[in-house]
Amino acid sequence: EGSGRRVVELGDVENLEANGSVLKASVARVEEEGVVRAIVFIEDITQQRLSNQSQNAFIAQATHELRTPLTTIRLYCEEAIEAEGADEQVREKALNVISSETRRLERIVGDMLCVSEIEAGSLNIRRESMRTEQLFTELEEDYQAQAKDKSITLDFDLPPKFPTIQADRDRLGQALHNLMGNAIKYTPSGGTVSVTASFDEHDAMSVSIPDTGIGIDESQQERIFERFTRADDRRISQVTGSGLALARQIARLHGGDITLESEIDQGSTFTLFVPGTTESKQAA
């Protein structure tokens, strides 16, 4: 009698990546010349379920990351309002914090947009003339305070002259921010994070960020870049962490790459390389 729809879950549903399946069965009643038949459709919706799960995890992580800067901004806004006209120094400090936390929010939202673009296969870069010096002044401004809070020494070893290159300023900034943020995040207090930038005669750019942090086991060194291959690969279950996948994608869209050397408990060095554009310009 009647029609119905039932979702049947088989195997280890808590751990779908390992060995679970979700099947959806729909039953339709068909009556023809007094004969009643039932048609049963069985659909395997495991991949759909997995993709929903990873989307939910991503949203949960993203909202969690948005919350901290928002709370900081609210507190410092209140402080700035209270200090109005009374204590200029307090007010100035509060405004600086608000400004840097707002930039952090912009970066998080930028990363989220890029992540969905990568998943949709539509992440692009827009090359324009950009002054490379800015990349590093911004990094220094944005991370000096964080490093100091954690008692990490932040060193910059920069060339005396910076070329103007053809690249996507915002995206490259994003990639470097992700590498820098990780270096500080995964380096314990008392450690050192350095930034070394160099350019060759064709303006190819190489930026290395060695840290004295926790290091990455050799078996994990490729995997940490690969979170986005997860969609089709049921063995990879972790859904957090997309910064490195994003940074590498940005480098590759510029024709470059990110490489890694690391030893557990000793530290890691991520190097972002972007090939020069001067050579091709001369040839043309």
- Supply 22's token pair: 């979700």
Cα–Cα distance between 162 and 134 in angstroms, integer? 9
CB of 175 to ligand ADP, least distance (A): 11
Question: Which residues neighbour 121 within 8 Å (Cβ) at sequence distance 6 or greater?
Answer: none
SS3 label, residue 213: coil
Total length of the chain: 284
Residue in the structure block whose two tokens are 């049947």:
8
Nearer to ligand ADP, 153 or 164 (CB): 153
List the one residue from 46, 174, 178, 249 that touches ligand ADP (CB under 6 A).
178
Nearer to ligand ADP, 130 or 250 (CB): 250
Residue 62 interacting with ligand ADP (CB under 6 A): no
Residue 211 interacting with ligand ADP (CB under 6 A): yes
CB of 241 to ligand ADP, least distance (A): 3
Stretch of 15-23, 40-48, 182-190, 276-284 contacting ligand ADP, by CB under 6 A: 182-190
Residue 129 interacting with ligand ADP (CB under 6 A): no
Q: Which of 149, 221, 207, 146 shows the shortest CA–CA distance to 179? A: 207
Residue 212 interacting with ligand ADP (CB under 6 A): no
CB of 108 to ligand ADP, least distance (A): 11
Q: How many separate helices (H) and strands (E) can be counted in the chain?
A: 7, 10
Nearer to ligand ADP, 174 or 277 (CB): 174
CB of 228 to ligand ADP, least distance (A): 10
Are 247 and 123 in contact, with CB atoms under 8 Å apart? no
Cα–Cα distance between 70 and 37 in angstroms, integer? 59
Residue 46 interacting with ligand ADP (CB under 6 A): no
Residue in the structure block whose two tokens are 């997309």:
242
The site for ligand ADP (CB under 6 A) is made up of 178, 182-183, 186, 211, 213-214, 216, 224, 240-245, 268
